[in-house]
Amino acid sequence: MNVRRTALLAVLVLGACAPVSEPIIAPLPQGAALDTAGRPFVRRVEPTTEYSRAVQAGTRSQTGAPGANYWQQAVRYQITAELDPQTRVLTGQERLTYRNRSPNALPEVRFNLYQNLFTEAFYGRGSPMNTGGLKLSALVFNGDTLRLITQAQYEANQRESRPNVGYIVTGTLARVILPRPIARGDSAVFQAAWSYTVPPQQAPRTGWEDALGGRVLQVAQWYPQIAVYDDVVGTDVTPYREQGEFYLEYGDFDVTLTLPAGWLVGGTGALQNPQDVLTPLVRQRLETAARSDSTTSIVGRDLIGNGTAQGNNGRVTWRFAAQNVRDFAWATSNRYLWDARRAQIPDASGGGPRDILVHSLYRPGAPGWEQSAHYGEHSIEYHSRQMVPYVYPQITVTEGPIYGMEYPMIVFIGRPTTALELYEVITHELGHEWFPMMVGQDEAAFAWMDEGFTTYIENNATKNLFPASDPYGTTQGQYLQIAGEKAEAPLMQHIDLVFGPAFGVSAYMKPGTLLRSLQRTLGDSVFFAGMREYSRQWQFKHPYPWDFFNTMERVAGQDLDWFWYPFWYRTVTLDQGLSIVTPGSGNVTVTVRDFGQAPSPSEIVVTNTAGQSVTHTIPIQQWLNPSTRAVTVTIPVTGTVARVELDPGHYYPDVNRRNNSWVPGGR
């Protein structure tokens, strides 16, 4: 998901106009007392008890790699659904094959019924967001029909020692108590039938709208989905509260969607029956696009509303299949234009590139969308070079009511008004194809592991295509607006418990900034080696923060707890400054003082009057002594010193840059 930079900045500016918040941590003493202040927030990172037990069980490891005994569940969904675009009512049936790879028998499971967010309980009776939620008309386990149990019935059965078999719906979760446990290594088949009404455009992450002369429905969180059962916490029982996102099992999907003729569909996976749903001309144009480095119009203005086959009785059935994905989403409109072009993905084994199609679906009049296929191509290729190669067979970018949201092989994008903003949103959402689509952590518990990572790679891609932009400064500036104040929240705090401007900072801006700091600290080769190692070893798996921390430390060959603990577990800040600068003959002596509670390497750049520069870095090790608050270095220079700067590239989030530069005669 994308937090719109301009919207977040407005929130931060409004907050800045209010009285200044008190710091969360008491300020450090000033003057000489600073030298004995110590470093209480440089300490060892301790994982949770649950994670430590997983290490002991051998499913996790202290190196950051999956343990020898690592396991995760396997799912296969077969879904058949029909959507009436006019009433917006979707009806569906699914068959879920669930394999229990855990060492435990499972007497019960949970299902996520995300559409129950859109009910009176959440939004109120009269709200247009109250669609009535998901109506589950049947739930079957291995051929046995399960009945709905109310909470009162469940409690009465407990009191009277009667068996409880069936399912209890509480908000967006269904607790399913099975007639017999799913044994270790065994498989079970669940069947469900349901219906719901697609919510309006104000809804988070999914919705419909009438605009630009036509209707678009971007459909997600649309089917009963079994909850994760993992090796660390067991069953994920987190309800969907709108703010936090998702934690999902990997598996295979076979999805059949029936809509009126003329309604184009883009979705997760590969289209299995193009000969049944597309006209010969459209299929021919797709073949051309697959070989082209320029954008091909697949359905242009000449074919709007007529790009599909006529189907049976005016209905067309689309079939998609996807492997090793954590979800399925789709978008549809009878007013979509359809562009496509190829992207070339580097081969993971070092061979030649692999071609995939980049699809773009948008309505006429959407500003700048003629470039959207190109933006998608650039993003997928850039992220593949920077991280690990994109693994899926296609990517689809769709325009509609949702400003920015990601799903496997498809993203929902709104209508930003500038080319730069449109690219930023597209490349951000496509960055999510790596985190969390290919590397699937718990997004609600640890939002920084997908939003923060994606903000970082978004910024790199944006700077590459729009070199005059300053994405790094924007991201860091938004973090620094509330850094160290009560409004800020620790990165390790569950995102459902983070509110106001702290949400965007905690999930996006601060971790996006810190990854750039870590890159500068470790160097490009080591940093990217660590990121790629983490991405490869946890592909299609469920990493936790300590898997990432340990992987980066193993690849870097150094302890990074000095970095993780103060920045991830606390809200303390970095504040270094130039204390004394003394030019000499052929050198300059510089004293750097550390006024903050989060340490950092100190990058000093000295420039002479001829414009020549020399860089000297005080390594982090010199700052880790609890009593060290000042370091003095003598730097060889030629000519006359014209300027001394501390971190002029703004790689580190220093909260006070007023004391970071020196010129003869004053700062």
Q: How confident is the model at residue 19 (pLDDT cuts 50, 70, 90)?
A: very low
Distance CA 219, CA 593 (A): 54
What six digits make up the tokens of 400?
Answer: 């509609």
Residue 297 pLDDT greater than 80, yes or no:
yes
pLDDT at 2: 72
Residue 467 has, within 13 A of its CA and on its CB side, a CA count of: 0
Q: Please state the rounded mean pLDDT for residues 174-200.
A: 98
Residue 638 pLDDT greater than 60, yes or no:
yes
Residue 344 pLDDT greater than 70, yes or no:
yes
Distance CA 637, CA 4 (A): 45
Query: Phi then psi for 321, rounded to 5 degrees?
Result: -130, 140
Q: How confident is the model at residue 12 (pLDDT cuts 50, 70, 90)?
A: very low
pLDDT at 10: 43
Q: How confident is the model at residue 28 (pLDDT cuts 50, 70, 90)?
A: low
Question: What Rg do the C-alpha atoms of the chain give, in angstroms?
Answer: 27
Query: Which DSSP string do the residues of 56-119 spell out, in sequence order?
Result: HHTSB-TTSSBPTT----EEEEEEEEEEETTTTEEEEEEEEEEE--SSS-EEEEEEE-GGGGSS
Residue 51 pLDDT greater than 70, yes or no:
yes
Task: Answer yes or no: are the C-beta atoms of 602 and 617 closer than 8 Å.
Answer: yes
Distance CA 215, CA 88 (A): 10
Query: By C-alpha distance, which of 496, 495, 608, 515 is closest to 563?
Result: 515
User: Which residue in this structure is represented by tokens 């435990």?
Assistant: 104
pLDDT at 162: 87
Query: By C-alpha distance, which of 657, 640, 585, 581 is closest to 616?
Result: 581
Residue 492 burial by Cβ neighbours in a 10 Å radius (0-12, 13-18, 19+)? middle
Query: Which DSSP string do the residues of 217-239 spell out, in sequence order?
Result: EEE-S-S-EEPPEETTTEE--PP
pLDDT tens per residue, range 382-419 = 999 999 999 999 999 999 999 999 999 999 999 999 99
pLDDT at 21: 36
pLDDT tens per residue, range 524-552 = 999 999 999 999 999 999 999 999 999 99
User: Which residue in this structure is represented by tokens 């109506």?
Assistant: 135
pLDDT at 35: 61
pTM of the model: 0.95
pLDDT at 1: 80
Average pLDDT, the chain: 94
Q: Please state the rounded mean pLDDT for residues 79-103.
A: 98
Task: Answer yes or no: are the C-beta atoms of 225 and 248 closer than 8 Å.
Answer: yes
List domains and CATH numbers for the chain: 5-32+452-569 (1.10.390.10), 74-249 (2.60.40), 254-420 (3.30.2010.30), 576-662 (2.60.40)
Residue 98 pLDDT greater than 70, yes or no:
yes
Q: How confident is the model at residue 17 (pLDDT cuts 50, 70, 90)?
A: very low
pLDDT at 125: 85
